[in-house]
Structure 1
Amino acid sequence: MLTHDDYTVAWIAPLEVELIAARLMLDTKHEKLPQSPVDHNVYALGSIHGHNIVIASLPTTGNTSAATVVTQLRNTFKQIRFGLLVGIGGGVPTRTDNGPVHLGDVIVNKPERNHSGAIQYDHGKALEGHFRRTGYLVPPPTVLLNAAQDLSTEQAITEDDLVAPHLQKINTRLPALRRYRYPGPDRDHLYKSDYPHRTEGSSCHSCACDPLQRVDRNANESQNDEIYYDRSSRIVVHRGTIAAGERVIKDGRLRDELANAHGALCFEMEAAGVMNDFPCLVIRGISDYADSHKNDGWHGYASATAAAYARQLFFHMPVDEVKQCAVGLAST
């Protein structure tokens, strides 16, 4: 029978829609283990490709909740080496080496020269009329960076998509799982950054947002983009900077301002709480463009693509190395 010390990887899925996708990615599910009365987390235990994984969700979104969940998890599962923070995020409609960023794409943090690839954009100091960011987060562990690099390399030289097949683990024929289906390119609408949503709480269709205010992205995307990045059959992954903060970004102009200042590809709300003292890789499926037109239509599919990427990552991590890292961490 497995014990707490047999688990080496934590998978944090903040929202219920993300938690369901995470649990469906497991190869096998394990029986629950006893935990301390002061540990209020609810865990799902299982394995992927020989790696024993603890999946936890958050009672509420945000950095504080994330920090509390991780602290309790690590007190119960003392051999946990590192974590994956997997869920949805608001994307920046920019371009990377893998092409333009669209809804349903996956963003993975990648360290830059002066930070870990995940920055806390709203944490800093006001100095002589300008704001200096001081929110530097712990870099992902080497084993995860190597796995992400190996996956990226394998994908570049392989004709077939390595990530998309994992979506088949989610049976979207079931009524409760239909929200994880690919919504289709006709529902991927980007509006001009200075055009606000007309009625809060209503869809763009219901409140008649002007379609003439949408950005014609086809005019800026080459024919090669359209051929190679067929998003109905392929998940596009971008690696770069993810920006974490305490608030939801729902303003296209603010999105662009922050993205330009920090080189961010995505905005989210939990990384700062998880990564302050816990080595972690952030994986976000793009569910909206961080503007006032955001809605829940892409939440399911974006959760699924992020979870599918996280699952594939375990096939690029040596099991023995992860276990040795966990033992080494516990003995220090």
Structure 2
Amino acid sequence: MVKKLSHEDYTVGWICPLEVEQIAAMEMLDDEHERLPQPSTDHNVYNLGSIAGHNVVVAGLHQPGNNPAATVVTQMRMTFPNLRFGLLLGIGGGVPVKTDTGMVRLGDVVVSKPAGGHSGAIQYDHGKAKVGQFERTGALAPPPAVLLNAAQDLAVKRARSRKDPLEDNIKRIDTSIRGLRRYKYPGTAEDHLYKAEYVHKEPGKPCDECGCDPSQRIRQPTDEEDDEPYIVVHRGTIASGELVVKDAALRDQLAEQYGLLCFEMEAAGALADFPCIVIRGISDYCDSHKNDQWHGYAAAVAAAYARHLFFHMPVDEVKRCVLASDS
């Protein structure tokens, strides 16, 4: 029997900008709950459920971007007054740099963490133009301590475990179902990183159909070439902006300037009024060769990581956190 709780019973928001991310989120719930009535001013669509004893509100966006994210957060906080914080997750564009867990690759996970004087996420396109330069202004709030502690505890315990809980979470998505086939792992043979100066030959067509030169790819070391991937998690600074980045030179310039690991489009809008941790599965390298091939798997790994984060957050500790509306 499907549970029906009250609006006041929900403590964590899970925000998914895209449909592919929302489906992956639903596959991670232990239980699904009956929908609740909403005020006439709240136009969001919610799915409700629980993970590890935490009651969770899953909310999608009608379109990607910082402004839609801000609107969704505002309405969600009013409808569910006891939300403490949120998880903003989905796919993102990776910066191919080395971290303490290895090179950032397609299918990896990047999680926001304060580093290098930044809060874990920055709005790289918000600022003021001065003579001959652009000066970034403003700062985004860091993730709540309970989420940072959970992320660190997960990393420590996962490193010491023979059995990987994230792999078990991925397997919750049954890719034998027709509608879930896009969540299959594409394989390392489909992880193509081109030299930054090499531009895609024909927009709208994949590299193998438009004649992109394979000799322009950067050979990336890998531990194994099989179909059983190990999900690598990187923690650091994520960049948020209104534009999709498809320019490797711009990617590298901003990454070097701010120490970035990933680009996305919603964090600045959500973090303005809602304490969140940002979790992104890497689906492309923010270059002109960007395509949709890794979207499903990248959404799946982000959701798999998010699910396990709940097991490292005591329910009582979350309830003691400050209400998001008071943050």
TM-score of the superposition, structure 1-length normalised? 0.94
| Cα deviation code 1:97-148 (max 9, x no counterpart) | 0011110000001012522110001112234533322131011111001000
**Aligned position for 1:320:** 316
Q: Aligned to 1:274, which of 267, 270, 273?
A: 270
Compared with structure 1, are the counterparts of its residues 331 and 297 closer, same or farther at alpha carbon in structure 2 (3 Å cutoff)? Answer: closer
Q: Aligned equivalents of 2:299 and 2:202: distance in 1?
A: 26
1:97 aligns with 2:94: no
Which residue does the alignment assign to 1:221? none
Shift of 1:162: 2.5
Q: Is the 1:15–1:57 contact (alpha carbons within 8 Å) kept by the matching residues of 2?
A: yes
Counterpart CA distance in 2 for 1:170 and 1:53 is: 19
Task: Tell me how far 1:232 sits from its aligned partner.
Answer: 2.6
1:204 aligns with 2:207: yes
Partner of 2:145: 142
Work out the CA distance in 2 between the residues paired with 1:230 and 1:174. Answer: 23
Equivalent residue, structure 1, for 2:304: 308
Superposed CA offset, 1:35-92 (max 9, x none): 1011000100000000000000000110000000010000100000000001000000
Alignment correspondent of 1:130: 133
Is the 2:121–2:240 Cα contact (8 Å) retained in structure 1?
Answer: yes
Letter in 2 for 1:289: Y
Q: Per-residue deviation at 1:153? A: 1.0
Q: Distance in 1 between matches of 2:260 and 2:311?
A: 28
1:115-194 map, 5 Å: 115-194=118-197
SS at match of 2:86: strand
User: 1:260 maps to which residue?
Assistant: 256
Specify the SS of the correspondent of 2:212. Answer: coil
For residue 288 of structure 1, what is the aligned residue in structure 2?
Answer: 284
**Separation (CA, whole Å) in 1 of partners of 2:131 and 2:269:** 29
Identify unmatched segments of 5+ residues in structure 1: 219-224
- d(CA) in 2 for partners of 1:94 and 1:200? 25
- Tell me the residue number matched to 1:249: 245
The residue type paired with residue 60 of structure 1 is Q
Structure 1 residues 330 and 271, CA gap change in structure 2 (3 angstroms): closer
Of 28, 52, 60, the residue aligned with 2:63 is 60
Deviations 1:192-216 (A, max 9, x none): 1111111110010110111011111
Cα displacement (A) at 1:230: 7.4
1:239 is matched with 235
CA, structure 1 residues 133+172, in 2 after alignment: closer, same or farther (shift >3 Å)? same
Q: Which amino acid aligns with 1:53?
A: V
TM-fit CA distance, 1:2? 1.2
3-state secondary structure, aligned to 1:169: coil
Q: Distance in 2 between matches of 1:131 and 1:330?
A: 33
Q: Percent identity at matched positions?
A: 62
Q: How far apart are the structure 1 equivalents of 2:48 and 2:75?
A: 15
SS in 1 for 2:321: helix
Aligned residues: 324
How far apart are 1:165 and its partner, in Å?
A: 1.0
Alpha carbons of structure 1 residues 142 and 212: separation in structure 2 relative to 1, 3 Å: same
Aligned 8 A contact 2:77 2:325 in 1: no
Q: Aligned with 1:148: secondary structure? A: helix
Q: Aligned equivalents of 1:142 and 1:230: distance in 2?
A: 37
Contact 1:120/1:272 (8 A) holds in 2:
yes
Tell me which amino acid in the other structure corresponds to 2:257. Answer: A
The DSSP-based 3-state class of the residue aligned with 2:205 is coil
Preserved CA contact (<8 Å) 2:119 2:139: yes
Deviation of the 1:160 alpha carbon = 2.5
Q: Distance in 1 between matches of 2:324 and 2:58?
A: 20
**What's the CA shift for 1:158?**
1.9
* Letter of the structure 2 residue corresponding to residue 86 of structure 1: L
Per the alignment, residue 222 of structure 1 pairs with none
Q: Deviations over 1:162-218 (max 9, x none)?
A: 212101110000111110000001100001111111111001011011101111123
User: 1-side partners of 2:227 and 2:73: how far apart?
Assistant: 34
Match of 1:14 in 2: 17
RMSD of equivalent CA atoms: 1.6
Q: CA deviation at 1:149?
A: 0.8
Contact residue 121 and residue 135 of structure 1 kept, 8 A: no
User: What's the CA shift for 1:331?
Assistant: 7.7
Alignment-derived partner of residue 76 in structure 1: 79
Rounded Cα–Cα distance in structure 2 between residues aligned with 1:209 and 1:52: 47
Task: Give the distance between the partners of 2:9 and 2:168, measured in 1 at CA.
Answer: 28
Which residue identity lines up with residue 325 of structure 1 in the other structure? C
Deviations 1:196-246 (A, max 9, x none): 11111001011011101111123xxxxxx616x978331100001100001
Pairing partner for 2:223 from 222, 226, 231: 226
